[in-house]
Amino acid sequence: MKSLLSLALLLVLPQAAQAERTLHVFTVFCNAYQGDDAEINQGVSVDKLILDTIFTEYFSEASWGVKMRRVVVEGPLATKSGVEAQFNSFCSAVGPEDTIYVHFSGHGEIPDPTTNRQHLLMIDDTAIKRDEWADQINDLPCKLKILITDCCSTFPHKHEIAEGDELVRPWRNLYSLLMEHEGFVNITAASPGQPAYATDYGGYLTVNLESDMQRFRSWQNVFNATQQRVYDETVREIKKANDPSLIPQRPFAYSLGKPLFDINKDTGAPEWIIPDSNQRFLNNSELNFMGLQQLYLARNEIFARHGFDFENPFLKDYFGNQPWYQRKPGFKSPDLSAEESANADAILAAEKAKGGPFFSGKTALPGSGGSSAPADIFPYSSERPLSRSIVQALGLKELSIARNEIFARHGYPFQSRQLQEFFARKPGYRRQPSMTDPPFSEVEEHNLWLIRKIERIKGGAYSWE
């Protein structure tokens, strides 16, 4: 897997008062390989987008009561010496109640089949022995250690990517996986001697594992679902390719840790994004470190406290699963306090500063009348990854517009009369009559893939006149 930028980035979110735990996230993305190895660079970069979504859109220090530290090593800095130096320094701050999450995306191999020792290949032709790194992580004096490596045990191939079709509800599940388990979760993409498959939309393991982390509360259930689906899909792809030299991919778990509580019961998972947003004025610094989705939910939970009756399916589902929410049918006019009103405005301003809002819910569609310029469903979909939890809440018409507004930003000449008229009303649309293959960015490619997947799940893309 791979990409283009070269940076090592340390992010330390503002510390919550008296926070007892820290989530330490260390990720390595080898996306600057040269020569034949470079075929996976784009897929590795998309793995980075996927992980970014997990740790920005679903994590909130205010909600979780947990600090976060993140180090991202990618591009030319992803050498053996660079990764080891960064990681050794990173580990010095890990405490006994903490969680450490380590993810590697790139090439891998087993150079000696008599030992089955997997090597993680850095971009400078050096290698880190996976078992030695795993031992180092397992020896850390913290409650939960997680190591995920998305790389081959032999060689890479490219196929269509698999992923489950079920709806995701990530907020409760991710908290349980990262905060309510102990021990060592140690997963790699393929069993010894097997390839790990990838596309330009990410590695099979990363795409599926991230999706299943949003579906299940235990690592055992996450891994079972990911392992079976990746194996079944690669078997199907190999049959289609009719190439007997290809080998199926079966992800492998050395260990999966264990839950601290009964995963079928509610435990200490957070129920609020900002628990006290009705009691104090929020400051910009705390909002700046929240993702667009977290901001959107935080803004709407101000209204939900009063029993606001949401029409948006995404908000209906989210707040309908919160034990404190008491919906008042038809209620649309809550009497907000001065703090609540100011905080709702401040959060919306923070969303807009990040390219949002996350979702307005009021976008006009073709054929709905009106002559004013319609707002984009996702105005930021060319700059940052979309979250599956919001995309899956859209209908087919909205999904089609969300997909085509990415095309429209490149001046794509739509064939549909309705789409021509619709996008002509947008002041930024500049039709390019000869445009056939827009130069999409990696973020755009990822978002198009996600939208098309949800369209397939819902029965197929909407057809405009």
| Domain map (residue ranges) of the chain | 8-259, 284-353, 388-457
> In this predicted structure, what is the pLDDT of residue 267?
66
- pLDDT for res 361: 66
For 15, residues 6+ apart whose C-beta sits below 8 A from its C-beta are 61, 67
Are the CB atoms for 381 and 446 separated by under 8 Å? no
Q: How far is 182 from 139, CA to CA, in rounded Å?
A: 13
- The pLDDT assigned to 289 comes to 82
- Let me know if the fold of 284-353 is the same as that of 388-457: yes
pLDDT at 349: 94
- Are 7 and 82 in contact by the 8 Å Cβ rule? The answer is no
How far from the centroid of its chain's Cα atoms is residue 330's Cα? 34
Average pLDDT over the chain, rounded to an integer: 86
- Token pair 């993409």 is found at 189
pLDDT, residue 368, reads 61
Spans of the chain, pLDDT less than 50: 1-19, 154-160
DSSP string, 250-280: --EEEEEEEESS-TTS--S----SSTTTTTS
Question: Is domain 284-353 classified as CATH 1.20.58.1690?
Answer: yes
- Ordered alpha helix ranges (H), 305-441: 313-320, 338-353, 388-391, 396-408, 417-424
Of 163, 171, 130, the residue nearest 147 (C-alpha)? 130
Q: What is the pLDDT of residues 38-81, one digit of tens each?
A: 888 988 998 999 999 899 888 888 888 899 999 999 999 999 99
| Contact assessment for residue 156 and residue 105, using Cβ atoms and an 8 Å cutoff | no
- Beta partners for 121? 107, 127
Task: Please report the pLDDT score of residue 224 as a whole number.
Answer: 96
pTM: 0.86
The whole-number pLDDT of residue 116 equals 75
Pick from 214, 162, 212, 219: nearest CA to 185: 219
Give residue 12's pLDDT.
Answer: 44
| Fold of the CATH domain 388-457 | Methane Monooxygenase Hydroxylase; Chain G, domain 1 (1.20.58)
Strand order in the sheet with 127-129: 107-109, 119-121, 127-129
pLDDT at 265: 76
User: Which of 3.40.50.1460, 3.40.640.10, 3.30.450.20, 3.30.390.10 is the CATH number of 8-259?
Assistant: 3.40.50.1460
